[in-house]
Amino acid sequence: MNIIDIINKKRVGLELNKEELEYAFNGYLKGIVKDYQMSSLLMAICIKGMSEKETFDLVDIFIKSGDVLDLSSIPGIKVDKHSTGGIGDKITLIIAPIVAACGVVVPKMSGRGLGYTGGTIDKLESIKGFNVSLTEEEFINALKTIKLAVTGQTANLCPMDKAIYALRDVTGTTSSIPLIASSIMSKKIAGGADKILIDIKCGNGALMENMDDALKLREIMEKIGEYYGKETICEISDMNTPLGSNIGNSLEVIEAMDVLHGKKGELTDLAIKIATEMIKVSKDITVEEAKNEVIFAINSGNAFKKFLEFVKNQGGDINSLVVSTNIETVKATSAGEVKKINALNIGKLSCSLGAGRINKEDTIDYSVGIVLNKLVGDKVNIGDTLFTMYKKQSEVNPLNINPDDYYEIK
């Protein structure tokens, strides 16, 4: 067997068998298959797709690249949540402490930014000292003591996803249904939760740009979950507009804390909806009962306390968050009401400010990003600030931003 034949087979749209997939993917992890060869195979998969059998085989290969956690020593139902990623999507940082504050164990395996979408692990790393590579023992101990732990893929947990994910991020191979399904479901299954809630983002700022693809992704992820005996519930939510007002790593952690402190809006509504669903399936109670628990966790301050406990437990110093002081505002050149904010363009801009990666080796600047000063539905006068860019401290030149590329005002 050789990797070039495998790439060519996929290039012409043929189905790869399990041995070929193992040869390519396990070979990549061992360093036998090179970055450029795997990039080429991933692109062929993006363009030609994969059959259901290939996708199931790939999930199996991803899972078997590391350990599968056994959380049976922790009492109660364990529920994990994952988003397919969007612009300004900091929902995990909000719902994980809410759900844990309601007494449900949340074992969470997250990823870094992918394409223009941010990732929970990068956001958590904006907190100085925060450990995103927990050992299995640390992960289980945290779940036993505070009911909440978030870890990235490690040498033991889904190492295949760690390697492939980093390559997809910088090779334009993020938007493939089988690759997304394998990446997410392998992490969820290895993470050991009993129930899985997936928030599939759909829109121009998401990996799934249209409803047809979002539905296909939902179908395959639910089938994979069922096969592994994990109840998997997929919600589809809009990602044509950024979620909330802050985009960028430290800025998103700050907004997540604002929501836990009671900030209202669309972001809060979605967080409440997802947390409610997680509590409902875990405790087998009605939606109303679950929602009451969620609202109580926020209003009582218990969810925020849980967030602080979680940050401390993983070594983070919440007072260490840095936001750049090098700011530039973008002003409205027309008056009216904000009809749309282009999530994709805002995501690209945030990435170009330094909040995401273009090359595998790039380091993220956690202090940069964007704050939307006007949201959809807001009234705007000429000269009002639409959004504020937090640029790298070293950036001296003004960025010539055309507001019409980001905001539709009528």
Contact 77, 194 (CB under 8 A): yes
> In the 8-state DSSP scheme, what is residue 210?
S
Selection from 233, 298, 312, 211 nearest residue 260 by Cα: 298
How many positions of this chain bind ligand URA (CB under 6 A)?
A: 10
What is the rounded CA–CA span in Å between residue 166 and residue 159?
A: 11
Q: Kindly state whether residue 180 participates in binding ligand URA, applying the rule CB under 6 A.
A: yes
Q: Nearest-5° angle of CA 330, CA 124, CA 190? A: 130
237 lies in the binding site for ligand URA (CB under 6 A): no
| Residue number, 37 or 83, with CB nearest to ligand URA | 83
Element containing residue 238 per DSSP (H, E): strand 231-238
* Count of helix runs (H) and strand runs (E) in the chain: 15, 12
| Active-site residue, selected from the candidate residues 108, 123, 187, 374 | 187
The residue with its CB nearest to ligand URA is 183
Binding segment for ligand URA (CB under 6 A), chosen from 41-49, 53-61, 175-183, 249-257, is 175-183
161 carries an active-site annotation? yes
Nearest to 43 by CA among 31, 35, 51: 35
261 has catalytic annotation: no
Active site residue 183: yes
Q: Which bin fits 22, alpha (ψ -120 to 50), beta or left (φ > 0)?
A: alpha
60 is known as an active-site residue: no
Q: Which residues pair with 231 in a beta bridge?
A: 195
186 is a contact residue toward ligand URA (CB under 6 A): no
Binding ligand URA (rule: CB under 6 A), the pick from 33, 61, 140, 184 is 184
183 binds ligand URA (CB under 6 A): yes
For the bound state, the minimum distance from the C-beta of residue 198 to ligand URA, rounded and expressed in Å, comes to 9
Per-position x/- string for 101-120, each x denoting binding to ligand URA as judged by CB under 6 A, each - no binding: ----------x--x------
Pairing mode, strands 369-372 and 327-331: unpaired
Candidates 168, 280, 306, 348; catalytic one: 168
As measured in angstroms, the least distance from the Cβ of 23 to ligand URA is 22
Annotated catalytic residue 404: no
The angle at the Cα of 250, spanning 247 to 255, to the nearest 5 degrees, equals 65
Q: Is 347 in the site for ligand URA (CB under 6 A)?
A: no
Catalogue the active-site residues.
82, 161, 168, 183, 187
Residues that bind ligand URA (CB under 6 A): 84-85, 111, 114, 179-180, 183-184, 187, 207
